[in-house]
Amino acid sequence: MNKWLFGFFVILTTSLMGSAFTIGKIGLIYATPIMLVALRFLIAGVIMAVIVKSLRIVHPKQLSDWIKIALIGFFQTACVMGCIFVSLRTITAGQSSILTFTNPLLVVIFGTFFMKMTYNWRQWTGVILGFVGVFITLGAQMDVQIGTLFGILSAISWAIGTLLIKKWGPQINTWILTAYQMLIGGLILFVGSFLLEKPSFQINAISITILLWLALMASIVQFAVWFYLLQKGDPGKTSAFLFLAPFFGVLTGSLFLDETMKWNVLLGGVCIFIGIFMVNWTAKVRGVIDGQGEGLEKF
């Protein structure tokens, strides 16, 4: 692929990932968090399900495959996105994006203990540096907001979802998996909205525009471009560009929400980005994190 075109697609997909935090926080003016994210993925899931149906892609026939898709949808869509949108009620879009994108670091830890993966010293250095960045990011705050905990939970859920996709993904068509895990995750969130909050969604031109942007651009388009890049380029090196996503989260939060980043957040963010870069960029060398780019269609 032409390097300029590759660069354009990288900027497009990571900016859509990162800016979704800011757009989502604006959307909370008009909707409760779980209902907003539920509608986002119900719309995206239905559209993608119609697309894969029209393309006559063979659907799974085994109940076990649908259970796997449902579990991935629970962790990858319901838990990750539910925690992110709830976190945005008490912390900034920049902080939420930084915490959420520590998930590649957690993949290394969980993969080592639960899937017997092995990583080289540079990747473990990246993990250590990343978590130093987390402590720096949180260190100057007098108290830990509830949103901080939800931001960390979103990263944990994303790491679990990534490992499940790495384990089960090869058995299921990627487009089928993506479409139905979003749809199932959206349904779980929709039910959860009535159980965990008093759901509301104000219908007006701004709220509908935000919802459609999140569903179409920040979900379907973002995933399609990211998946295309993973197919055309080196998955390990391509995944290294994920550090741009929280950068765009911080940038758009500053531009559109007047969020000010304290020195510790900026310094911690830099450490986290470098750590993630080290983890991902060396993936091809050992061939052990080839699943890091999976499941990134959520942002």
- What's the Cα-to-Cα distance from 97 to each of 80, 161, 197, 236, rounded to whole Å? 12, 17, 23, 21
CA distances (Å), 103 to each of 136, 182, 206, 214, 280, in order? 17, 19, 32, 21, 12
Q: Show Cβ contacts of residue 163 under 8 Å, excluding neighbours closer than 6 positions.
A: 107, 110, 111, 114, 115, 291
Prediction pTM value: 0.84
- Classify residue 121 by burial, with Cβ atoms within 10 Å: 0-12, 13-18, 19+: exposed
Structure tokens at 176: 């089928």
SS3 for 233? coil
Contact call for residues 9 and 229 (beta carbons, < 8 A): yes
Residue with tokens 């998996």: 177
Q: What is the pLDDT along the chain (299 residues), one digit of tens a residue?
A: 778 888 899 899 989 999 999 999 999 999 999 999 999 999 999 999 999 999 999 999 999 999 999 999 999 999 999 999 999 998 888 888 888 888 878 888 888 888 777 878 888 888 888 888 877 776 655 456 788 899 999 999 998 998 898 889 888 988 899 999 999 999 999 999 999 999 999 999 999 999 999 999 999 999 888 878 866 776 556 666 777 788 888 888 888 998 876 777 778 878 888 887 887 765 444 444 444 444 444 44
Query: What total number of domains does the chain contain?
Result: 1
Find the domain containing 244 and state its range: 3-298
How many angstroms separate the Cα of 176 from the Cα of each of 59, 146, 180?
7, 35, 6
Residues in CB range of 123: below 8 A, 6 or more apart: 108, 278, 279, 282, 283, 286, 289
Q: Is 70 exposed, middle or buried (0-12, 13-18, 19+ CB in 10 A)?
A: middle
